[in-house]
Amino acid sequence: TPASAAPAAPSKPQTPQYSADDDYTAVWSRADALKLKQDKTNTAPRVSPDFPVITDKVWQWDTWPLTKLDTKTATYRGWHVIFALTAPRSVPFGDRHWYAKIGYYYSRDAKSWKYGGDLFQPGTAFGSRQWAGSAALVGDKVYSFYTASGHDNGGVNPNDPLQRLALATGRIHADTTHVWFTGFQDHRIIAQADGKLYQTLEQSQQGPIIYAFRDPFVFRDPRDRKVHLLFEGNTAGVAGTYQCTKRDIGDVPYGHQVPDNAKYYTGNIGLATADGDSMDHWKLQPPLLSANCVNQQTERPHLVIRDGKYYLFTISHKFTFAPGLSGWDGVYGFVGPALRGDYQPLNGSALVLGNPEDAPTQQYSHYVMPNGLVESFIDTVPTADGGTRFGGTLARTLVLSLRGNRTRLTHQLDYGFIP
Ligand code: FRU
């Protein structure tokens, strides 16, 4: 086990190799984030205010496809299936988080989605609402991971930020007209913040932005063959006690001052590993990447493994950057030599796709698929009369080219195309 990350000597380039259990966390530094700059390769096109809506029943936001454990999207008997956070459209758009439930949708052509209703039977899930997750198909069994958000039976309560990772298993069924699920009766809490590797709710109380222990993303690492979860966490310890390190700050331009409040911003990308394919027990591992003193939220982390390289993506907001830094609502990314390794920010700064300046919250919750297609939901779109239109439906799918440590937006496709 390498004790420290010794930088490779320039004459003999060599990348340290780590395993999932090693204690090495890559860093998104302030120096990286100071390079954030928009150009046409990383700025999303404006979302047209006349976008179509998938269903008038529910707001739809964070969305994930049914996948195989190799992260590729799966079909079942010719059906494409996606899962999403949903809330009745009768709830104000901004309050949807406190009513969120996982809904499912199915389609023949991967873009004309039919809303199928709630995934879980009432009263079976942990938490008082469900936040983002992932779903893996193994045979006809579906492993549905989600964030049990809020205390059990906590009701609608925006002041209850508890988050735990949960798993429920069920079965998928389909005929020529529709897709449905059975099971999902046996829910389990599989991971909780421990206060040593990941900040607990109690430790977070002083922080200015909601803490995180959420958004499990399941995959099998082709190298160690183990099943793992990525998730969004915060660095353990009482909020405000973190001390920004030289590594967190990085090689910043001369004169760059780190504001004292930067210590409150401690987002990370966490890792948990299953003890076997039955996924019965999970072990928390040190974070893969931290954004200490850079950003409080590295939400919905996910992974694309291509040509032996590990592309780690996460969504983040403009308002969650630490003082003295600024970015865009959008998707950020890193590339590394292995699941755990010295991840480098894509495009120098990590920005992959950000919202345009004149529509800063037009879309969010981007999810990059192994085929380079990026789905996201429409959030709040400026209209010609100076007002706004809320989305709560899928945005046009954006196409990304991924080469080495660079990404480039190439074009856009249909609304909600998730093949
Ligand atoms: C991202 C997100 C997720 C969370 C969900 C809650 O849009 O903040 O991190 O699971 O939305 O609604």
- Distance CA(28)–CA(235), nearest Å, equals 13
Among 215, 248, 299, 342, the active-site one is: 299
Please report the pLDDT score of residue 2 as a whole number: 45
DSSP 3-state of 99: helix
DSSP 3-state of 226: coil
Q: Which residues have C-beta within 8 Å of that of residue 11, sequence separation ≥ 6?
A: none
- Distance CA(25)–CA(69), nearest Å, equals 24
Neighbours of 243 (CB within 10 A): 9
In the reported structure, the alpha carbon of residue 334 is separated from the centroid of ligand 1 by a whole-number distance in angstroms of 20
Number of domains in the chain: 1
pLDDT digits over 221-251, tens only? 999 999 999 999 999 999 999 999 999 999 9
Query: Residue type for 190, please?
Result: I
- Gyration radius of the chain's alpha carbons: 20
Q: Can you tell me the ipTM of this complex?
A: 0.95
Please give the sequence-ordered ranges of beta strands (E in DSSP) within 322-383, or none if there are none. Answer: 330-336, 344-345, 351-354, 363-368, 373-382
How far from 211 is each of 106, 112, 143, 256, 396, CA to CA, in Å?
Answer: 33, 36, 26, 27, 30
Ligand 1 pocket mutation, candidates 315, 365, 376, 394, criterion most atoms within 8 A of CB:
365
In the reported structure, the alpha carbon of residue 249 is separated from the centroid of ligand 1 by a whole-number distance in angstroms of 27
**Is the minimum distance from the CB of 100 to ligand 1 under 6 angstroms?**
yes
Query: Is 202 an annotated catalytic residue?
Result: no
Tokens of 350: 């990590």
- In sequence order, the β-bridge partners of residue 230 are 217, 271
Q: Is residue 364 a part of any domain in this protein?
A: yes
Ligand 1 pocket mutation, candidates 59, 60, 62, criterion most atoms within 8 A of CB:
62
Tokens of 295: 């950003």
pLDDT digits over 170-183, tens only? 999 999 999 999 99
Expressed as residue numbers, the domain containing 201 is 26-415
| CB contact at 8 A, 164 and 127 | yes
Q: Is residue 19 a part of any domain in this protein?
A: no
- In sequence order, the β-bridge partners of residue 371 are none
From first to last of the 419 residues of the chain, give the pLDDT tens digit.
Answer: 444 555 555 554 556 789 999 999 999 999 999 999 999 999 999 999 999 999 999 999 999 999 999 999 999 999 999 999 999 999 999 999 999 999 999 999 999 999 999 999 999 999 999 999 999 999 999 999 999 999 999 999 999 999 999 999 999 999 999 999 999 999 999 999 999 999 999 999 866 688 999 999 999 999 999 999 999 999 999 999 999 999 999 999 999 999 999 999 999 999 999 999 999 999 999 999 999 999 999 999 999 999 999 999 999 999 999 999 999 999 999 999 999 999 999 999 999 999 999 999 999 999 999 999 999 999 999 999 999 999 999 999 999 999 999 999 999 999 999 99
- Distance CA(106)–CA(55), nearest Å, equals 12
Query: Is 23 an annotated catalytic residue?
Result: no
Residue count of the chain, please give it.
419
pLDDT digits over 144-161, tens only? 999 999 999 999 999 999
Start-to-end C-alpha separation, the chain: 40
| CB contact at 8 A, 119 and 184 | yes
Domain CATH for 75: 2.115.10.20
**Is the minimum distance from the CB of 299 to ligand 1 under 6 angstroms?**
yes
Q: Is residue 13 a part of any domain in this protein?
A: no
139 — alpha (psi -120 to 50), left (phi > 0) or beta?
A: left
The enclosing H or E element of 33 equals helix 30-33
Q: Is residue 211 a part of any domain in this protein?
A: yes
364 CA: nearest ligand 1 atom: 7
